Amino acid sequence: MTQRIAILTSGGDAPGMNAAIRAAVRAGLARQLDMFGVRHGYAGLIAGDFRRLGAREVGGIIDRGGTMLGTSRCPEFLTDAGQQTAIRRLAEHEIAGLIVLGGNGSQHGSLALAQRGVAVIGIASTIDNDLAGSDVTLGATTALDVALEAISRLRVTAAAHGRVFLVEVMGRACGYLALMAGIAGGAEAIVIPEAEQSPEQVALAIQDAYRRGKSHAIVVIAEGAKHNADALARHFTEHAERLNFELRVTKLGHVQRGGSPGAFDRLSATLLGAEAIERWCGGEHGILLGLSGAHLTVSLLRDAVARPKPLQPQWLHLAHVLSR
């Protein structure tokens, strides 16, 4: 019988997921595999929500953000019973291999399935870039571009009014998006969970920027920072008279996630989707496919999710130097 491979997308959708689905399906078909999609991530796996995917079903999606399969956060999959049901559904549908597109949480799920004997290959896909197994994850680059576009616009109005703008970006517990958006957006200060600062330290950085002759300031803040945009705004408002700067807050939120994937994410997704099939055909599983620069990387799932992703300290240093 022709072997069956299923693909699912889990957690937050990321630009490039569709391009990876398309590549995996068409590479699978070229290898005479039967390709299936699982709807809505692990929830669909537990519900047995599978659909066969042919070449035409994945047409016209390479440039679309989101995921044609749908995704979910699925608390039931965290339970023993949920995982057992998921494995039963795979067996019922005679699925021999599973490709999981998702971030840190989703790849913990991949590992749980792999440890129960499922032939899983993970593809690092999340705007958060929080997987140690990949220098950069699918979607992060496009999300960064969306954040940068917003920051450029905010700088225009910040300059016109001489204001301080607090711009909060996504990323969960990981400061990658904020740090990179801050550096590439020319921020006067960057606040991330990996290098916490008190509100007074941020206020000092802003005041110092004005003292050095700047007419306005952009502060990029990771949503996962202890002192996020709300906390900082509260502090600055309480001490408004003393601090003496006019403040506005913008939370970019989900707008960062829905962008059309840029060239890097489309090409990387295509490479990773097709490679997942090649690796599976070569007998490999229990692995995470990711990226280092433009190169594909392979790590064991258990290593890829075992440690938090470190931020490279030279970026932090550079951010400080360049904000002068």
* Catalytic (active-site) positions: 128
Nearer to ligand F6P, 124 or 170 (CB): 170
Nearer to ligand F6P, 171 or 261 (CB): 171
Site residues (CB under 6 A) for ligand F6P, limited to 208-237: 223
139 binds, among ligand F6P, ligand ADP, none (CB under 5 to 8 A by kind): none
Q: Which does 112 bind (CB under 5 to 8 A by kind): ligand ADP, ligand F6P, none?
A: ligand ADP
Angstrom distance (rounded) from CA 292 to CA 98: 23
Segment near ligand F6P (CB under 6 A); pick from 44-52, 125-133, 233-241, 298-306: 125-133
Shortest distance (Å) from residue 205 CB to ligand ADP: 31
| Neighbour order of strands in the sheet with 120-124 | 50-52, 34-38, 4-9, 95-102, 120-124, 287-292, 295-300
Residue 253: alpha-carbon gap to chain centroid? 13
Q: How far is CA 288 from CA 242, 298, 301, in A?
A: 51, 6, 5
Q: Which residues have C-beta within 8 Å of that of residue 184, sequence separation ≥ 6?
A: 144, 148
Whichever of 97 and 102 has its CB closer to ligand F6P, that residue is 102
Rounded to the nearest 10°, the torsion over CA 52, 58, 59, 60 is 140
Number of residues that bind ligand F6P (CB under 6 A): 12
Q: CA 52 → CA 250, 270, 271, distances in Å?
A: 42, 20, 22
Q: Is 12 in the site for ligand F6P (CB under 6 A)?
A: yes
- Distance between first and last Cα of the chain: 65
- DSSP for 273-304, please give it: HHHHHHHHHTT--SEEEEEETTEEEEEEHHHH
Residues in contact with ligand ADP by the rule CB under 6 A:
10-12, 42, 73-74, 77-78, 102-106, 108-109, 112, 126
Secondary structure (3-state) at 112? helix
42 vs 264, beta carbon nearer ligand ADP: 42
Q: Which of residues 127-156 bind ligand F6P (CB under 6 A)?
A: 127-128
Binding to ligand F6P (CB under 6 A) within 242-301 occurs at: 257
Q: Which of 107, 126, 134, 137 binds ligand F6P (CB under 6 A)?
A: 126
DSSP structural state of residue 195: B
Task: From the list ligand F6P, ligand ADP, none, pick the one residue 235 interacts with, judged by a Cβ distance below 5 to 8 Å according to partner type.
Answer: none
Cβ-based nearer residue to ligand F6P, 127 or 291:
127
Name the minimum Å distance from CB 184 to ligand ADP: 23
Residues 6+ apart with CB under 8 A from 311: 175, 176, 179, 192, 194, 195
**Contact call for residues 189 and 205 (beta carbons, < 8 A):** yes
Is position 180 an interface residue for ligand F6P (rule: CB under 6 A)? no
Note the residues at the interface with ligand F6P (CB under 6 A).
11-12, 73, 103, 126-128, 170-172, 223, 257
